[in-house]
A and B are shown apart, each in its own frame.
Chain A
Amino acid sequence: MSSVLEATRAGAQTAPARRPVGWLRATVERESVFSWMIVTPPVLFLMLFLGYPFFYGVYLSFFQREVARPATFVGFGNFVKLSQDPIFWLAVKNTILFTAVATVLKASLGLAMALVMNQDFKMKAFTRAMLLLPFIVPTVLSTVAWQWIFDPGMGLFNRLLMISGLAKTGPSWLGNPTLAMVSIIMVNTWRGLPFFGISILAGLQTIPTELHESATIDGAGTWGRFWYVTLPSLLPVIFIVTTFSIVITFFDFQLVYVLTGGGPANSTHLMATYAYSISMGAGQMGLGSAVALSMVPVLGLLLAVLTFYVRKA
């Protein structure tokens, strides 16, 4: 580096030394060279810390590898083992159910939130900031609060049920398989709803008012304007937000890890928490990698849909 600087200084004084420096500078100034010089460090970083773990995970999934034991190659053995594992299939079913229900709830309630927010009222910016709070507060911390809300003895839900006289003793929210599933869907919806609401609201604000005006002139009522103007204009936003949300929800880990730990009796295990409990709890890294990799087809499908959509648009 310093030699280059010296050469530059020397080049400024004596004419003959100028040519190689000029050549170097001209090379660096070329778009492709400059681009790759700048892009290389982040690319190397991502290759080491994203690319390498990913392919190493694929490699691991073909081995039976337990902590502090030599690995043995088992081919597709881990995947065969998983296909015969009822808990794995339960986790697959739970993940799909959890993602589907939570996404539908978030999208429909988010649309409602956006429509309500898209009116003129005082303290709008402040209200929007308040509504976004569930999304920005560290998930684990709000999930711990929800755990206490669900507490069977003194939690808020059961206290309210008892005070209002709706029930003598409240249910065990996280202790009953069905209710536990309902509970994790509830918390996920609570947290993700503002993301939908605020994104759709931003989309609503880009719809030109002329569209609504001309629809009104053509005789469209409130419902007609919503159905023929608002909703079609919003579809791209809803599509993108939903796809993103599906990715995040499908691979969710911390919510279930904190709230139920996958219980009671594995009834709320998602694929991510099951992968964790196999690899970190039981120490079977190979099998755990196989569980994690079983989620790749879903990711691939979503990526394909998204790429197709972006190409079309």
Chain B
Amino acid sequence: MVGELTWRKRIFGLWLPLILFLVIALFPFTWMAATSLKTNAELYNPKASPLYIEHPSLVHYISLLNETNFLVWVGNTMLVAVIATGISLLLGTMLAYPLARMRFAGGALLALAVAITYLIPQSLLFVPMADLIGRLQLGNTLTAVMLTYPTLLVPFIAWLLMGYFKTVPKELEEAAMIDGASRWRAMTRIILPLCLPGFLSAGIFAFTLSQNEFLYALLFLSKSSVRTVPIGVVGELIRGDAFYWGQLMAGALLGSIPVALIYSFFVKYYVAGLTAGAVKG
């Protein structure tokens, strides 16, 4: 009797809802994959099953790689994400370290300013930002996004790293300084290496956000050769004719894979970064 009850609880309390959540989360990706592997004849045949693939074919992938700039976009996206993440980690560390570990005039005000900039959304800034980039003559260059993505990432990274920096006891740095190390040495040799998990969390988060960014890329990059994957796919793979879904889904799937792969290697750090703000307050 009791065994039956827990068994029922297990099905209705765990397995059924879990499967439901998984189906909801994953069916668009299945649909993407199924579409990309079908030939147009099968894809637009109302009698064929929508999910089952009768004649798998790579024709959409081949046309995507041969007829579009897709690989160039992937390269651009990676380059921009790596550089924007690097700049952001550097600037974010420079901002977070003193805020987390030192007392200085204006520090409290600066911490508040960082918190506010953290929440300032892009849609508030894009009009003047487009003007600024235009005046710096950076339109249609990857530099434009490499410089603007850190504005989205630095406040977030600083906020995240401050949490990590605060956890290292102050005595460590004091001990190093009594032994003759300068503040700079204590920071770079003692404290920062201890915060490696924080850098991984912040870095992986910044990297996925850079790959995801759309609005600034849309504003600044209109030439095909400098586009990133998201705007390349939306700007060039969606065409007037109706029969483009196969290629489009191939592009969406291939464009998602690098992020998903990197994410799968560092999922622990990603989750730590994601939940840091919420759980630590």
Contacts and interface: CB of A to CB of B under 8 A. Distances in A.
Interface of A: 25, 28-29, 31-32, 34-36, 38-39, 41-43, 45-46, 49-50, 52-54, 56-57, 60, 112-113, 116-117, 119, 121, 125, 127-134, 136-142, 144-146, 148-149, 151, 154, 156, 159-160, 163, 190, 193-195, 197-199, 202-203, 206, 236-237, 240-241, 244, 247-248, 250-254, 257-258, 271-272, 275-276, 279-280, 285, 288-289, 292-293, 295-296, 299, 302-303, 306-307, 310, 313
Interface residues of B, number: 94
Contacts of B126: 275-276, 279, 292
Contact of B119 (A138, A149, A247): A247
B70 to A, nearest CB: 12
A86 to B, nearest CB: 21
Given A38-B94, A275-B123, 16 more contacts: A39-B94, A41-B91, A42-B95, A42-B154, A45-B154, A136-B263, A137-B256, A139-B230, A144-B233, A160-B50, A195-B274, A199-B274, A202-B271, A244-B278, A275-B126, A279-B126
Contacts of B130: 279-280
Interface of B: 13-14, 17-18, 21-22, 24-29, 31-32, 35, 43-44, 46, 50, 91-92, 94-95, 97-99, 102-107, 110, 112, 115-117, 119-132, 147-148, 150-151, 154-155, 158, 182-184, 208, 211-212, 214-215, 218-219, 229-231, 233-234, 238, 245, 248-249, 251-252, 255-256, 259-260, 263-264, 267, 270-271, 274-275, 277-279, 281
A32 B128 contact: no
B128 A57 contact: yes
Contacts of B150: 45, 49
B28 A145 contact: yes
Contacts of A252: 123
B148 A49 contact: yes
Contact of B102 (A31, A142, A241): A31
B109 to A, nearest CB: 11
A144 B252 contact: yes
